[in-house]
Chains A and B, each alone.
Chain A
Amino acid sequence: MAVSKTYLDIPGTFVFDAEHSRLGYPLNMFCMSLSKEENRSAFTEDCKSYMNRFEMTEAQKQSIRDRNWNMMLEQGGNIYYMLKLAGADGTPYEQVYAAMSGDEPSDYRSMMIGGGRLPEGNLYKSDWAKK
């Protein structure tokens, strides 16, 4: 059946579809490798040569060096894989979420405790264009 991509007009969201998966394969498999203790140590000791074990693009490597989570997503990263990098760094997940949203961690936490980001005004890219 036809595979339509009508989800592309959801704002601030990367759907991990075929294109993202193909692009992000080396980045995500790099992140996945950090599930193993020996790999975490190797990465911590020499991140450059460790990253070179994976056939990542320069943009992907840069996004990792910068811990630029949204850039990783743009480069095909999947959040569940990326969180393994956060885990290896000892970065609390909440800090990663706040960074992606562009909010200060304290503001982000307040938003969540207040019931989260509301659907109103956040469902279509056109909603965000009005802001």
Chain B
Amino acid sequence: MMSHVPLLGLAVDHAKKEEEYFKPVFNAFDVSKKWIEDINPDAIILVYNDHASAFSLDLIPTFAIGCAAEFMPADEGFGRREVPIVPGYPELAWHIAQSTILDEFDITIVNKMDVDHGLTVPLSLMFGEPDEWPIPIIPLAVNVIQYPPPTGNRCLNLGKSIKRAVGSFPENKRVVIFGTGGMSHQLQGRRTGLINQEFDTNYLDKFGSAPEELAKIPHEDYLRLAGSEGIELVMWLVARGAMNERVREIHRHYHVPISNTAIGHLILENEI
């Protein structure tokens, strides 16, 4: 689970990692990079939100799964981010699409889409600047821009359905799921800059042990307490739902601020 601030992408791309401002965050990710290198999964399901890059107000899917063989980094207004093309995993992505739809989650199937900083910044944080991304990625885009986004409860349950889908894939694969976005932040209006450390800490505390409780948080509370963009946190619940009921916390980090945002990240593993 992690935030996806675009400024962190800029910091990677422009070699600012050593600056004091960014140091605490990049240092915290050293643990995470080592962790994923050791785990070396077969696939990553990356739950993120598109920021008016692949989708626009013409078409607003609540949940969309990328089933293509590859995804181009998007031009978000200042040229494409110079990161490797994102490799997909069509077999598993299609399997998840079919399985979740039959499980009554009407997910949108996408065969062509560009992926923006919401997806590529988390990859940069976890893998640095490789010539190519080392693991196939299944993008799972969630609408958190047009109100209302899906409820936290719906996200948690979609995650559970994804877990069943991965479990029923004919091949036995090691899959990691990233829930991205958040934590508290507001990027608009006179209240821009809102950060709520108490809200975020509570979220991190309960994420592993009491996700059902977090899934009950109404949209209004996110908007009011965690800032208008803090509502992105519902995406974390998709990832949480895809894990076992009992999990153990491997790593946690929280820092304010990068850009306008409280940065949080958590690594959980299934307790077997």
Contacts and interface: CB of A to CB of B under 8 A. Distances in A.
A15 interface: yes
Interface stretch (A44-52, A57-65, A83-91): A83-91
Contacts of B262: 116
Interface in A102-131: 102, 108, 111-113, 115-119, 122-124
Interface residues of B, number: 46
Q: What's the dominant secondary structure at chain B's contact region?
A: loop
Nearest to A113: B257
Contact of B196 (A3, A21, A34, A119): A119
A13 B191 contact: yes
Given A31-B52, A32-B56, 8 more contacts: A10-B228, A13-B191, A35-B53, A78-B52, A80-B51, A117-B191, A119-B196, A119-B199
Interface in A14-45: 14-18, 21, 24-25, 28-29, 31-32, 34-37, 40
Interface string B134-154: 000000000001111000000
Interface stretch (B75-83, B101-109, B172-180, B240-248): B75-83
Interface string A89-105: 01001100100111000
Interface of A is mostly: helix
Contact of A34 (B77, B145, B191): B77
Contacts, number: 143
A85 B58 CA distance: 18
Interface residues of A, number: 55
